[in-house]
Amino acid sequence: MQLITIFSLTFPAFPWFGMDIGGTLVKLVYFEPVDITAEEEQEEVENLKSIRRYLTSNVAYGKTGVRDVHLELRNLTMCGRTGNLHFIRFPTQAMPRFIQMGHDKNFSSLHTTLCATGGGAYKFENDFRTMADLELLKLDELDCLIRGLLYVDRVSFNGHPEGYYFQNPSDTQSCVKMPCTLDNPFPMLLVNIGSGVSILAVYSENNYKRVTGTSLGGGTFLGLCCLLTGCETFEEALEMASKGDSTNVDKLVKDIYGGDYERFGLQGSAVASSFGHMMSKEKRDSISKEDLARATLVTITNNIGSIARMCAVNEKIERVVFVGNFLRINTVSTKLLAYAMDFWSKGQLRALFLEHEGYFGAVGALMELLKTTEDP
């Protein structure tokens, strides 16, 4: 490590950002160097200092920007420099304001490259150019996702494993979260649940394919919840879902057959028809918003689980890693996915989750910044 420090005479100019502009959320990672020498400090331009101060001294930015303090990776060495990696998110809707801020803070004078991935890197490229005089380095989101994920797993979460799984997923009472690392991670089926869902079969850092995707993702959960319950945020929707009972909304096998459907080995408690009870007016009149939110969550989660499982079988991969911001503060879904993988595969498949859920794309983008100067 020391050798690298000595020989990497050039590292990219600060500030170091990696940005992932998704359909719903922008994920921003910021490397805060803590090894700044007095010399450096002197040379450091004022707006660079002010950016650092603004980002590191706040946990909320504007009305909607949030720093996930609990995810901060401390004392990380990147490109020979030591620092803390901060994880910040804000809604994609706020992108124009963000770009405006870049303009106001005269970001373009900093000679840094803004590495961006996600669809927004393409969509907002022109706005960055015209509004803030900034050139984006656009990066493929799946490349970044995999690179970032492998990196974070490698450096670990401040000494703790980045990954976790659920022990006894089929038993709600004894189901416990267990930490784990992804040693020997390949092959893995990577299920990225953002607004929509992408499913990748990953064979090595540079060898992967997008197997399929589905439009029923986090955006669908939130979109439907907003329409059905009048809620406005993901947090609100999840809060309601945690209190609801989906069996008031969904029709179960036992609602149709009175018990198990033995001819086909289906348990009575399995969902036969999502929202199936809602065909009846009486039932529609008797359910709560919480029940609806829960049913929406369960429907979307089970569907993702089912497609992921099919892909795993088709691709002959046993390890399924779920990431993406849909899983943020969403233990209902993580447990359900763990259960679904285990139950339907009769224990063959294992669902794994990662603590930095939705930030891997942004981390991957940052690494690209460091790579561009590291290997000229």
Partner 1 sequence: MAECVRLDSSTSSHTMDKSITLPPDEIFRNLENAKRFAIDIGGSLTKLAYYSTVQHKVAKVRSFDHATKEAASDKLYEISVQEEVTARLHFIKFENAYIETCLDFIKDHLVNTDTKVIKATGGGAHKFKELIERKLGLKVDKEDEMTCLIKGCNFVLRNIPHEAFVYAKHADSEFRFQTTQPDIFPYLLVNIGSGVSIVKVESEDKFERIGGSSIGGGTFWGLGALLTKTKRFDELLQLASKGQHTSVDMLVKDIYGGSYGSLGLTGDLIASSFGKSATADKEFSKEDMAKSLLHMISNDIGQLACLYAKLHNLSRVYFGGFFIRGHPVTMHTITYSINFFTKARPQLSVFISFSLINGEVQALFLRHEGYLGAIGAFLKGAEEDNPNQYSWGENYAGSSGLMSVSPDMNPMQRARSGTFDMLEMDRLERQLVNLPLLQDPSSYIPDTMDLTEDALAREYWLYCFEEALDGVVKRAVASQPDMPEAAQRAEKFRQKYRHKLQTLRQQPFAYGSLTVRSLLDTREHCLNEFNFPDPYSKIKQKENDMALKYYQKAVKSLEELSWEQRQFALVRGVLAGNVFDWGAKAVSDVLESDPEFGFEEAKRQLEERPWLVDSYDQWFERLKGPPHKCALFFVDNSGVDIILGVMPFVRELLSRGTEVVLASNSGPALNDVTNGELQILTERIAAMDPVIHRLDKVLAMVVRERQTDLVIIEGMGRAIHTNYYAMLSCESLKMAVIKNSWLADRLGGKLFSVVFKYEVPAGKPSQHSAALSPL
Question: Where in 19-38 is the site for partner 1 (CB under 8 A)?
Answer: 22-24
Out of 116, 228, 241, 320, the residue judged to bind partner 1 by CB under 8 A: 228
Q: Is residue 219 part of the contact set for partner 1 (CB under 8 A)?
A: yes
Out of 249, 354, 363, 370, the residue judged to bind partner 1 by CB under 8 A: 249
Q: Which stretch binds partner 1 (CB under 8 A): 102-110, 160-168, 176-184, 214-222?
A: 214-222
Q: Is residue 358 part of the contact set for partner 1 (CB under 8 A)?
A: no
Q: Which stretch binds partner 1 (CB under 8 A): 38-46, 60-68, 157-165, 273-281?
A: 273-281
Cβ burial, residue 244 (10 Å; 0-12/13-18/19+): buried
Out of 113, 192, 220, 325, the residue judged to bind partner 1 by CB under 8 A: 220
Q: Which stretch binds partner 1 (CB under 8 A): 60-68, 72-80, 296-304, 362-370?
A: 296-304
Distance of closest approach, residue 14 Cβ to partner 1, in angstroms: 29
Per-state percent for the chain, helix, strand, coil, to nearest 5: 45, 25, 30
Query: DSSP of 305-345, one letter per residue?
Result: HHHHHHHHHHHT--EEEEESGGGTT-HHHHHHHHHHHHHHT
Distance of closest approach, residue 290 Cβ to partner 1, in angstroms: 14
Q: Which is nearer to partner 1, 11 or 343 (CB)?
A: 343
Q: How far are the Cα atoms of 219, 237, 290, 330 from residue 295, in angstroms, in the given order?
A: 15, 11, 9, 14
Out of 277, 319, 328, 350, the residue judged to bind partner 1 by CB under 8 A: 277
- Residues contacting 330, CB < 8 A, separation 6+: 238, 297
Query: DSSP of 255-317, one letter per residue?
Result: HHHSS-BGGGTB-TTSEEETTGGGGSHHHHHH--HHHHHHHHHHHHHHHHHHHHHHHHHHHT-
Distance of closest approach, residue 282 Cβ to partner 1, in angstroms: 6
- The Cα–Cα gap between 117 and 159 comes to 28
Place of tokens 């969902």: 271
Q: Is residue 122 part of the contact set for partner 1 (CB under 8 A)?
A: yes
Q: Is residue 214 part of the contact set for partner 1 (CB under 8 A)?
A: yes
Q: Which stretch binds partner 1 (CB under 8 A): 5-13, 104-112, 113-121, 349-357?
A: 113-121
Q: Is residue 124 part of the contact set for partner 1 (CB under 8 A)?
A: yes
Residues 350, 188 contacting (CB under 8 angstroms): no
User: Could you tell me whether strands 25-33 and 81-91 are parallel, antiparallel, or unpaired per DSSP bridges?
Assistant: antiparallel
- 46 carries an active-site annotation: no
Structure tokens at 102: 């870049």
Catalytic residue, chosen from 32, 141, 162, 290, is 141
Q: Is residue 44 part of the contact set for partner 1 (CB under 8 A)?
A: no
Binding residue count for partner 1, defined by CB under 8 A: 75
Sites for partner 1 among residues 131-150 (CB under 8 A): 140, 142-143
Sites for partner 1 among residues 169-208 (CB under 8 A): 194-196, 201, 203, 206-208
Sites for partner 1 among residues 76-105 (CB under 8 A): none
Out of 28, 190, 241, 278, the residue judged to bind partner 1 by CB under 8 A: 278
Structure tokens at 63: 């009305």
Sites for partner 1 among residues 306-325 (CB under 8 A): 306-307, 310-311, 313-314
Q: Which is nearer to partner 1, 81 or 309 (CB)?
A: 309
Query: DSSP of 136-175, one letter per residue?
Result: EEEE-HHHHHHHHHHHHHHH-BTTB-SEEEEESTT-TTT-
Q: Is residue 226 part of the contact set for partner 1 (CB under 8 A)?
A: yes
φ, ψ for residue 320 (rounded to 5)? -115, 115
Distance of closest approach, residue 343 Cβ to partner 1, in angstroms: 14
Q: How far are the Cα atoms of 145, 157, 290, 301 from residue 316, in angstroms, in the given order?
A: 22, 30, 38, 22
Q: Is the peptide bond before 15 cis (omega within 30 degrees of 0)?
A: yes
Q: Which is nearer to partner 1, 85 or 317 (CB)?
A: 317
Catalytic residue annotation: 141
